Structures are given as structure tokens and as C-alpha cells.
Amino acid sequence: MTRRRSLGLTTVLGLLAVSALAPAQIVGQGAKPYSPPRMPDGRPDLQGTYDLATLTPLERPAGMNASLTGEQVARLERAVATQVALGSRPIGGDRAAPPTGGDGSRGAAGNVGGYNTFWLDPGSSFTIVNGEARTALIVDPPDGRLPPLTPAARKRLLGLARPSAENDPGLDSTPGVYDDPERRPLPERCLLGFGSTSGPPALPNYFYNNLHKIVQTPDAVLILTEMVHDARVVRMNAQHLPTHIRKWMGDSVGRWDGDTLVVDTTNFNGDQYRYAVEAAPGRRLLFVDSLGAKEQDRLSGPGKDLHVIERFTRVAHNALLYRFTVEDPATWERPWTGEYTWPATGQPIYEYACHEANYALENVLRGARQRDGEAATRP
């Protein structure tokens, strides 16, 4: 076991080192344009498995430049690696139980702690595009931040806030939220990955299982997301479905623009982000950073009028460039665009059969029934 573990870690570190360096070498702007391998129909071959994990956040942290110098990259990535190493250190077998009343952990860890670092794989290097180590996925607006929410969206999103229960920060006080499995968030129900893992747009989840696989035919392109085994089929040169047909990941149709695959997605369900976000009450959910600091902790995402345009370009034998534009006039005051490199990986996508052993959902609902029983018998 020890040997296997060492080998595994060495392998992973080796891969990470390669992935940190490779894009800089391969995505450069050489004099000779890159010529991708081609399918029998003459189109570029985009197929492969890609690991989207990256340290680059969706939005640029305040005060940062758009890209990092080589020295900054080295220092930051080393700092993260050091934290990982520290997280692997022994903590004492004679330790005590954690504190009564909770350990103060926030988010999905809900005051009872998450689990050890060794389960996680959120990425260890910055995305490199055109030779630049980026500090945000968003490239437009140029400040790397999401555009402002519309006044209507502010109202709508704040109305969706999920406050913590009084005296129990681990619980959601939204009425009825534990009454029915269908009131539980989509990830908890094994329907969609959390955050925008499946997308579109497909974003890193900064947690684990960030692998995506592309399978391509002349008539359809499959985008398989490891998390929750979300499979999106892009119908080539097709019309969108009638507007009354709504899907969690929307309806995707594709076309070729030169050597770039362009995927247009509409017909979203409208609740995809409301329920695809993490389950923890009071947590900041995806896509909201246009609210004030206090309100940031509240909510949520775009609705059924969401329109996403993705552009997939093979820029090297081992990398795609993924560029996406998101618009929803009911949510943001203007469209926004992001891009990042999808490095190919030799790792397989593992099955994510989620329903059969989803004891967590059962435990959550059983806990609520116990509380119901206690409330009913309370004098």
C-alpha cells in the first residue's frame, strides 16, 4: 500500500508538473499555425479526455493583473502544493472528538467539518492561454469580473436566499426544504454536478472529478462530464427544439466555424442553477458576485432565458481552447465571456453511479423526520 501510494502521488505530481508546463509550450503563437488531426469527414478531431481542474478562479481577485509572471506562478503553485503536503501530515491518533456544537466550518461542510484533503483534487496549476498564466477565466468584461446584475435579478436572487436555521447554522430554515426529496438540490439527488460542472458553460468545480470527455461524429458531439455522469449531446447543424421543451443542461446545437466547433445552447429549465448549487444554507452560490459583500453570501444564477455560446478549438495535440459567452438579459446587464485551456489527460473517466449508494440523501431526510417527531411530541 505504501509503495502504491508513493507511486500514485509521484505520478500525480509528475502529471501536474507536465500540465503546468505543457500549455505554455504548446499554446504559444508560433509562426506556423497549428494544424489539428482530422476526422474522416475532414473536421478537426476534438476527441479526448480533458482535466478542467485549475487554480484560476472564474472571477479575478481584486487588485490583480490579468496574468501572472513566471515567478509568481511558481511561487503560488508551490504555496498550494505546500498546503497539500501539510494536509497530509499526521494529526495524532490519540486526538479527542471534535467540539460539541460544531467545528465552525461553513459552506457544505455545515458546521460538522468536511473530510480529509486526500479526497480532493481541485487543481494545482493556473490555466495558460496564449502563453499567459491567467488570474480569471472571465476575459470580458476586461476587469475579469461578472457584469452587474439587473435590478430585477437582484430582487429575484435575494428572494431565493436560503437562510440558516436559528441556533443551527448547519440547517436550512427555508420552509419545506427537507419535506420532499424533490426539494433537495440537484447534486444531492444525483441529477447534476454541483456548481456549473456540467454547464454549459462547463466550469471547473474547484473540488474534484473535473474530467470531461468528447466523442465526435459528423452528426453529433457528446460531451461527457464525470461528475454525476452528465452527458450532453450536441446535434450538429440542427435547429433548436421547440421552446416549451426545457432541459437541465439546455438544448445544444453545433456548427463548424472554420476549425472551431461552435455550440449554441438555449431551452434551459430555468432552475438549473437554483438547484445545481451546493446544498448548504446561506452559502454563496454560483455566478453571483455583483451583489454587495453581505449579499454575496446569498444567491444564485441565471434563469430559463440563459443563452450560452461555446467555442471549442484544438490548439495543440494535447489541449483544447474553450471559450464561452453567456447572456441572460434577465440576469446580467450585458453578456460576458470567459476562456481557458482544457489540457488532455491520460487518466480515464471513472463511472459515477450516484443513485445506488446515495445514503446521504436518506440520512438528510431521516434527520428531518426525527426533528419532526421531536417537534410533534414537544409539550
Binding positions for another protein, 14-53, rule CB under 8 A: 16, 53
CB 166 within 8 A of CB 282: no
Q: Tell whether residue 112 is a contact of another protein (CB under 8 A).
A: yes
> Could you give the CA distance from residue 84 to residue 291 in angstroms, rounded to a whole number?
32
Select the span of 20-28, 116-124, 235-243, 325-333 touching another protein (CB under 8 A): 116-124
Identified binder of another protein from the candidate list 41, 45, 118, 237, rule CB under 8 A: 118
Nearer to another protein by Cβ, of 236 and 354: the residue is: 354
Q: Which three cell numbers stand for residue 254?
A: 453545433
- Omega before 141 cis (within 30°)? yes
Residue 56: closest CA among 344, 350, 343, 349: 343
Task: Work out how close the CB of 142 gets to another protein at its nearest, in angstroms, rounded to a whole number.
Answer: 17
CB 326 within 8 A of CB 339: no
Residue 47: closest CA among 371, 317, 267, 333: 317
User: Strand (E) positions, 217-306?
Assistant: 220-225, 230-236, 251-257, 260-266
Nearer to another protein by Cβ, of 197 and 252: the residue is: 197
B/e letters for 305-333, b = 16+ CB within 10 Å, e = fewer, are ebbbbbbbbbbbebbbbbbbbbbbebbbe
Task: Work out how close the CB of 204 gets to another protein at its nearest, in angstroms, rounded to a whole number.
Answer: 10
Residues 6+ apart with CB under 8 A from 261: 43, 44, 46, 221, 234, 254, 255, 311, 312, 313
Q: Which three cell numbers stand for residue 58?
A: 472564474
Q: Using only C-alpha atoms, what is the Rg of the chain?
A: 22
Select the span of 31-39, 145-153, 327-335, 354-362 touching another protein (CB under 8 A): 354-362
Nearer to another protein by Cβ, of 64 and 152: the residue is: 64
Q: Which three cell numbers stand for residue 178?
A: 427537507
Select the span of 150-158, 249-257, 263-271, 356-364 touching another protein (CB under 8 A): 356-364
Interface with another protein (CB under 8 A), residue total 114
First to last CA, the chain: 55
Nearer to another protein by Cβ, of 108 and 234: the residue is: 108
Q: Tell whether residue 83 is a contact of another protein (CB under 8 A).
A: yes
Nearer to another protein by Cβ, of 227 and 234: the residue is: 227
Question: Considering only residues 239-268, where is the footprint of another protein by CB under 8 A?
Answer: none
Instruction: Give the DSSP letter of residue 278.
Output: -
Q: Tell whether residue 161 is a contact of another protein (CB under 8 A).
A: no
Select the span of 40-48, 114-122, 230-238, 240-248 touching another protein (CB under 8 A): 114-122
Task: Work out how close the CB of 61 gets to another protein at its nearest, in angstroms, rounded to a whole number.
Answer: 6
Task: Work out how close the CB of 330 gets to another protein at its nearest, in angstroms, rounded to a whole number.
Answer: 25
Identified binder of another protein from the candidate list 32, 89, 244, 294, rule CB under 8 A: 89
Identified binder of another protein from the candidate list 31, 356, 375, 378, rule CB under 8 A: 356
Nearer to another protein by Cβ, of 266 and 345: the residue is: 345
Give the other-Cβ count within 10 Å of 57's Cβ.
18
Residue 154: closest CA among 333, 304, 275, 336: 333
Nearer to another protein by Cβ, of 254 and 343: the residue is: 343
Question: Considering only residues 327-346, where is the footprint of another protein by CB under 8 A?
Answer: none
Select the span of 152-160, 184-192, 233-241, 308-316 touching another protein (CB under 8 A): 184-192
Question: Considering only residues 56-75, where is the footprint of another protein by CB under 8 A?
Answer: 57, 59, 61, 63-65, 72, 75
Question: Considering only residues 284-323, where is the footprint of another protein by CB under 8 A?
Answer: 284
Nearer to another protein by Cβ, of 55 and 315: the residue is: 55
Binding mask 196-235 for another protein (x = CB under 8 A): ---------xxxxx----------------x-x-------
> Could you give the CA distance from residue 236 to residue 221 in angstroms, rounded to a whole number?
7
The bridge status of strand 251-257 relative to strand 260-266 is antiparallel
Q: Tell whether residue 375 is a contact of another protein (CB under 8 A).
A: no
